[in-house]
Amino acid sequence: MKFKKVFIKPGNYFSNVVTEWASTNNVEVEEIALHEGFDEMIEGLVIFNQNSDESKELLDIRKLFDTKLKPVHRIDINGTLMVGVSNFSLWLERNACSTVLFIGDEVLKENSNLLRYFESIKIK
């Protein structure tokens, strides 16, 4: 899998995990404020969740991307690790997104599977 840039919402645990992962995979990270029009420079959305639970904020962002027909992928960190990583890789190849927004709720910081997922996602 290969993409150029990951956008993150600033100032939370999830964003810190993404930044650490990106630094070890030579992926550029940019913080972005989620204000009107923020999605114009983003080609795809990846939502990290647990047990398919998503906050209203994440659902609203997903709805925005769905409305604009931009690709969206969900990763349930409590699902099977290799299936999740493989599906993410296939999604990236199929949609050829070079800029992606990674989002996840703050509640994910309590789940050790989040770090396992990011350790398993390798960028070629």
Instruction: Decide: 107 and 48 in contact? Cβ < 8 Å.
Output: no
Query: Residue 17 in contact with residue 114, Cβ under 8 Å?
Result: yes
Task: Give residue-wise pLDDT tens across range 77-115.
Answer: 999 999 999 999 899 999 999 999 999 988 898 999 999
What the chain holds in terms of domains, given with CATH numbers, is 5-120 (3.40.50.450)
* C-alpha to C-alpha distance for 11 and 61, rounded to whole angstroms: 18
Strand bridging mode 99-104 / 44-49: parallel
Contacts of 15 (CB under 8 A, 6+ apart): 8, 9, 31
Mention every residue, 6+ apart, whose C-beta is less than 8 A from residue 116: 77, 81
Tens of pLDDT, residues 1-52: 567 899 999 888 999 999 999 998 889 999 998 888 888 999 999 999 998 7
